[in-house]
Amino acid sequence: MIRLSRTLLRRYSTAGGNEFPEFYTKNHVELTSLQRAVLAGGSAIVSLIDPSRGDMIACLGETTGVQALKYCQQRMLLSPEGAKILADKPRINTATVDFSKLKELPDGTLGKTYYDFLVINQVSPDSRDNVKFIDDPELAYVMQRYREVHDIFHAVLLMPTTMLGEVSVKWVEALQTKLPMCIGGALFGAARLRPRQRKLYVKHHLPWAINTGKKAGFLLNTYFENRWEQSLDDFHKEMNIQRLV
C-alpha cells in the first residue's frame, strides 16, 4: 500500500486546513421525524420517475442512509488510511485540488485517469450537492466524501457516465456501502437500459459489478489525494479489482 504523504497532498492541493465543520454548520438543516419521513417518501417517488433529479437522489440518500453511513464510518475507522480521511476531512473540488497538475501527470496514473474522465464525460467535481439533512457531522462528512469520490470510482473502474456505466458503478457502491439509494439505483436503474445495453448488462456488467463489489477493497478507504501518482494497474492489484474486458 502506498504510504500516505503530506508532500503529495500539498503538491496537488490548492487549499489547506479542515474546513468541513464550518461547511457543515452553514449547510445543515435540522428535520423533525415527520419531515424526514415525508422527504424520504417524496424523494423516492421523484427519483424513480425522473432519475436525472440529482437533488432528489441526494435527499433520498441523506434521509434514508444513516445506518449505512455508520457502517461505512466503522469500516473507515478500521483502516489506517480510512481513519486518516475521517481525521483530515479532505474535500475534492476545483477549490481544493489543482487539476492543472493532474493534467500533467503521466497517462495511466490515478490522477490523470480521473482528470481525463472529467474531460471526456464533461462533468465537474463541483456538481455534487452539499449534505444538509444528516444531523451527525461525522456521518455527514462520510456522505459528502462518498459524493465527491463517486466520479473517481467511475474513473478507476473505467466506467463511463452512460446509464450502463452508472448502474454498474451503483452495484459496486451498493454492495460496499449498503446505502439504500445505491441499492435502489442498482435494482431499478437497469429497467431503463436499452435492449442492447441490457444484453451487455446481464452478460458482462452485472457479474463483473457484483464480483467487484464483493471482492474489491473498500473504495471509501482510499485517500485518493495522496495517490494521484500511483499507477492504475498497481491500484487495481492492490484493491483486487479486475478490469471488465
Annotation-wise, does 154 bind a ligand?
Answer: yes
Provide the residue-wise pLDDT of the chain in tens; the chain has 245 residues.
444 455 666 678 765 457 888 888 888 888 788 887 887 778 778 766 766 676 777 777 788 889 999 999 999 999 999 999 999 999 999 999 999 999 999 999 999 999 999 999 999 999 888 998 899 999 999 999 999 999 999 999 999 999 999 999 999 999 999 999 999 999 988 988 999 999 999 999 999 999 999 999 999 999 999 999 999 999 999 999 999 97
What pLDDT is attached to residue 1?
44
Q: Can you tell me whether residue 221 is helix, strand or coil?
A: helix
CB 171 within 8 A of CB 206: yes
Annotation-wise, does 166 bind a ligand?
Answer: yes
* Alpha carbon 60 to its chain's center: 15
How far apart CA 28 and CA 116 sit, in angstroms, is 33
Q: Grid coordinates in use for 95?
A: 477549490
Backbone angle region of 178, left / alpha / beta, with phi > 0 → left and psi within -120 to 50 → alpha: left
One-letter amino acid at 218 equals F
Q: Can you tell me whether residue 13 is helix, strand or coil?
A: strand
Crossing angle for the helix pair 163-177 and 137-156, nearest 10 degrees? 140
Number of residues in the chain: 245
What pLDDT is attached to residue 14?
67
DSSP 8-state class, residue 216? S
Burial of residue 6, with CB atoms counted within 10 A of its CB: 0-12 exposed, 13-18 middle, 19 or more buried: exposed
Crossing angle for the helix pair 180-189 and 33-49, nearest 10 degrees? 20
DSSP string, 58-110: HHHHHHH-HHHHHHHHHHHHTSHHHHHHHHH----STTTB-HHHHHTSPTTBH
What pLDDT is attached to residue 141?
97
Residue for grid cell 484493491: 239
Query: What are the backbone dihedrals phi and psi of residue 109, each rounded to the nearest 5 degrees, phi first?
Result: -90, 160
What pLDDT is attached to residue 136?
95
One-letter amino acid at 122 equals Q
- CB count in 10 Å sphere of residue 108: 12
Query: What are the backbone dihedrals phi and psi of residue 228, each rounded to the nearest 5 degrees, phi first?
Result: -55, -30
DSSP 8-state class, residue 204? I
Give the number of C-alpha atoms closer than 13 A to the C-alpha of residue 18, restricted to the C-beta side: 9
Annotation-wise, does 28 bind a ligand?
Answer: no
Burial of residue 181, with CB atoms counted within 10 A of its CB: 0-12 exposed, 13-18 middle, 19 or more buried: buried
